[in-house]
Amino acid sequence: MSKAKKIEDCAFAWCARRERPDWSASDQAELDAWLAESTEHRVAMLRMEYGWQRVDRLAALRASSLRQKVPIISQRLPDARGPWLSMAAGFLLVLGLGSLGLSQWMDGGTQRYVTVVGGHETVPLRDGSHVELNTDTRLRASVDEKARTVWLDKGEAYFEVAHDPKRPFVVYAGDRRVVVLGTHFLVRRDGDRIEVIVAEGRVRVEAVDAGKALKPAIITPGNMVVSESGSMLVASTSLEKVESELAWRRGYLVFDKTSLASVAEQFNRYNDKKVVINDPATSDTRISGSFEANNVDAFARLLQRAYGLSVTDDKEHLLIASPD
């Protein structure tokens, strides 16, 4: 067998092993060590993760049970039209459309939830807590008599935790653990970067690996934690900021003198049609206001009218440039 194939087998084995619910901090350390050995390992792992992630969308093919278990569709509609529309939605799913939002399935007692780009769903957990998943998010939850555990694999989620002192509620995001002391809070994960924002109550953020000499941080409303590769920063933030960070729950994006480059990044998290900025001069244009996250076309029109930028729409991209 060629060298590349052997490495590929290892990468596959790692991906499979990481799926198991008993994946621990020491497993992670072992994987990190393997990755650090060579670039060969690193690229093979990236490639396998990429493939694995695409296959993970299989869950979106799940049709019938989705409708019963997750009251996504009926919840939003007037009662009289509910049954008809949710039937229609069920039908669309049978055709294999993942864009409707959430998919979930069980895996050895662990419930898994996935939203696609543009998706936004609230799911109840067995203990009465609620998790609200933002766009392009993957998480796993395991709730039993002794513990309540959630792994945020990717994306962003808002938690409303039912009070239960006997069962701690713990959210794992990368190498950080958020221990809930009864509350409403947000966790966002983008690779190694983790942000935690509290809307109500208190949480404790700590390293998963107790060996790391990181002081746990306790955060309260108006505080946020930003953690990235080994460091953890507690910043105070205004309640308005918390409110605007949570605007996606209402389907909005809120910006306050934000650069066009990062505004585009935000929109691109929610839409398949991507905003592309063609010249650097415009990317620093400051944008303020609140926008519907899924209505990128309206945003483009505003750029055209209010900021005088040139917008070209080729159906898949919105190309933004300064006027000639």
Partner 1 sequence: MKDVRQVNEWFTREVLPLEPLLMRFFRRNWRSESDLADLRQELYVRIYEFGLKEIPLQTKPFVFMAARNLLINHVRRARIVSIEAMADLDAMNIAVDMVTPEREITARDELRQLQIGLNNLPPRCREVVTLRRIEGLSQREVAEKLSVGEDTVEKQMMYGMRALINFMLGGSGKIQRRPKGSRKNKAVGHE
Chain residues that interact with partner 1, rule: CB under 8 A: 1-5, 7-8, 12, 16, 39-40, 42-44, 46-52, 54-55, 57-62, 65, 96-99, 104-109, 116-117, 191-193, 229, 272, 274, 316
Q: How many CB atoms lie within 10 A of CB 184?
A: 19
Give the Cα separation of 316 and 297 in Å (integer).
11
Phi, psi of 24 (to 5 degrees): -120, 175
Of 26 and 65, nearer to partner 1 (C-beta) is: 65
Q: How far is the CB of 37 from partner 1 (least distance, A)?
A: 13
Q: How far is the CB of 307 from partner 1 (least distance, A)?
A: 25
CA neighbor of 293 nearest in space, from 257, 243, 255, 261:
255
Distances (CA, A) of 83 to 67, 69, 98, 119: 11, 15, 20, 21
Q: How far is the CB of 85 from partner 1 (least distance, A)?
A: 20
Question: Which two three-digit tokens encode residue 17?
Answer: 């092993």
Of 109 and 323, nearer to partner 1 (C-beta) is: 109
Give the Cα separation of 12 and 88 in Å (integer).
38
Of 174 and 177, nearer to partner 1 (C-beta) is: 174
Phi, psi of 296 (to 5 degrees): -75, -25
Question: Which two three-digit tokens encode residue 263?
Answer: 């505004």
Give the Cα separation of 189 and 173 in Å (integer).
7
Residue 186 contacts residue 159 (beta carbons within 8 Å): yes
Q: How far is the CB of 109 from partner 1 (least distance, A)?
A: 8
Of 150 and 246, nearer to partner 1 (C-beta) is: 150
Q: How far is the CB of 220 from partner 1 (least distance, A)?
A: 29
Of 119 and 198, nearer to partner 1 (C-beta) is: 119
Of 110 and 322, nearer to partner 1 (C-beta) is: 110
Q: How far is the CB of 123 from partner 1 (least distance, A)?
A: 14
